Amino acid sequence: MESPRWLDDEEQQAWRHFIVAAARIEDALDRQLQRDAGMPHAYYQVLAMLSEAPGRTLRMSQLAEVTTSSPSRLSHAVSRLEEKGWVRRDKHPTDRRGALAVLTEEGYAALAAAAPGHLAAVRAAVFDRLGPGQVAQLLALGKRLAEGCPPAG
Amino acid sequence: MESPRWLDDEEQQAWRHFIVAAARIEDALDRQLQRDAGMPHAYYQVLAMLSEAPGRTLRMSQLAEVTTSSPSRLSHAVSRLEEKGWVRRDKHPTDRRGALAVLTEEGYAALAAAAPGHLAAVRAAVFDRLGPGQVAQLLALGKRLAEGCPPAG
DNA sequence: CTCCTTTGATTGAACTCTCAACAGAAAACT
DNA sequence: AGTTTTCTGTTGAGAGTTCAATCAAAGGAG
């Protein structure tokens, strides 16, 4: 096994800035949501994805997919959201292994209440900082980096 | 308080791709390091930053700064790394509140052993996916997004 | 049909991180 | 000097995540 070449100067800088930016953005969003809505960003994403799904319902495996979380992580998260009354588990009609996560009315209300503050945080942390044309660049880069990456284990 | 406008279509897409990309990259790096080197990415960063500092030593507050972690998080991390014998705590010579984190020889060896695998993972997750010119875009975006964001609490 | 593999989802323990509370030391006032 | 305020860093508890183990059901292969 040969040792791969190190990052050149531009790559090095890009990499360091990227991990700092990603960490700070996630931190800012987590803190805002935890403070104002009593949930971490990961849980907000669960509610958000469910709210857009037909019947506000998604199979656990699909919900894990769209929220970029492992099955275990999602299962724990849904359990926690169930305790809050924001999500309910239903049995899958045809596949008896499957479980369905359903967003409750209370869950939808909690999401609706949290959304404006979260949106403001996203703007403050990201889009308010970007110049014209940079949104398109972010889109292109995000697309490239998101696709093909192995999903969570 | 007025509800701010929602994201337009391009922003929406950029945002979703970005959070998926960031999550998958972090997950991939965490899993590789945990599996091959027995430490999470955050701990690797602590060792890496220390290894570049003069005397392989940094004050806790500065180390927290460069690793994008809260004082509490770093304190726990250093405690854990101390148990492994990879980092040692020294007293600050002039400021008696201050604590210095020092990378031990064993810690340096652990970092050196982990580095090639980590580098390969970074390449696989990020730079191998980018086309020419996109590294520069990533650098510009990362810089914009990293600066000005409030440091961790 | 039976065996075997794969898929979907959950569980508990170990680990990391966050938050709030705390304490020691330095800096700034009065 | 004496008091308050700020800065540094640690601690413990609680919340979230990971990992490995587990189980049930579906999907082949012989």
- Of B16, B7, B54, B100, whose CA–CA distance to A139 is shortest? B16
Rounded distance in angstroms from the CA atom of residue B50 to the C1' atom of nucleotide D3? 39
Protein residues closer than 7 Å by CB to strand D: A 39-40, 42-43, 69-70, 72-73, 76-77, 80, 94-97, 152-153; B 27, 30-31, 34-35, 59-61, 64, 71-72, 74-76, 78-79, 89, 92, 95, 97-99
Q: Is the CB of B70 under 7 A from strand C?
A: yes
| Between B71 and A4, the higher pLDDT residue | B71
Task: Check CB contact under 8 Å for B4 and A146.
Answer: no
> Whole-angstrom Cα distance, residue A44 to residue A87?
12
Three-state secondary structure call for residue B46: helix
The per-residue pLDDT for A132 is: 84
* Cross-chain residue pair B141–A134, CB shorter than 8 Å: yes
Chains A and B form CB pairs within 8 A to the count of 163
pLDDT score, position A151:
64
Share of chain B above pLDDT 90, in %: 90
The CA R_g of chain A, rounded to the nearest whole Å, is: 18
pLDDT above 80 for A118: yes
| Mean pLDDT to the nearest integer, A106-133 | 96
pTM over 0.85: yes
Contact A24, B144 (CB under 8 A): no
Of the candidates B43, B19, B15, which has an alpha carbon nearest to the alpha carbon of residue B29?
B43
Residue A67 token pair: 């929220």
> Once rounded to an integer, what is the mean pLDDT over residues A11-18?
98
Q: Which of B3, B18, B123 sits opposite A142 (nearest CB)?
A: B18
In whole angstroms, give the CA distance from residue A139 to residue A151: 20
Strand C bases, protein C-beta under 7 A: 7-13, 15-21, 24-27
Closest Cα in chain B to A21: B146
The token pair that represents B63 in the structure block: 């180390």
The identity of residue A87, as a single letter, is V
Which nucleotide in the DNA or RNA is closest to residue B30, CA to C1'? D18
Write down the pLDDT at residue A5: 80
CA dihedral B70, B75, B80, B84 (to 10 degrees): 120
Query: CA A95 to CA A99: how far, in whole Å?
Result: 9
Q: Residue A143 contacts by C-beta under 8 Å, 6 or more apart in sequence? A: B17
How far is it, in rounded angstroms, from Cα B143 to Cα A17? 5
For residues B119 and A7, the answer to whether their CB atoms sit within 8 Å is: yes
Indicate the pLDDT class of residue B64, thresholds 50, 70 and 90.
very high
**Rounded distance in angstroms from the CA atom of residue B106 to the C1' atom of nucleotide D11:** 27
Give B28's contacts in chain A (Cβ within 8 Å): 149-150
Which residue has its C-alpha nearest to nucleotide C10's C1'?
Answer: A75
Q: Would the pLDDT of A21 be above 70?
A: yes
Pairing of strands A87-91, A57-59: unpaired
* Residue B38 C-alpha, separation from nearest chain A C-alpha, in angstroms: 17
Does the C-beta of A60 come within 7 A of strand C?
yes
- Strand D bases near protein CB (under 7 Å) are 7-13, 15-21, 24-26
In whole angstroms, what is the distance from residue B23 CA to residue B105 CA?
A: 32
* Contact flag, residue B77 CB and nucleic strand C, below 7 A: yes
Distance from the B115 Cα atom to the nearest Cα atom in chain A, whole angstroms: 10
Handedness of CA B152, A21, B48, B58 (dihedral sign): negative
Convert the pLDDT of each residue in B5-48 to its tens digit. Answer: 889 999 999 999 999 999 999 999 999 999 999 999 999 999 99
Residue written as token pair 């857009």 = A52
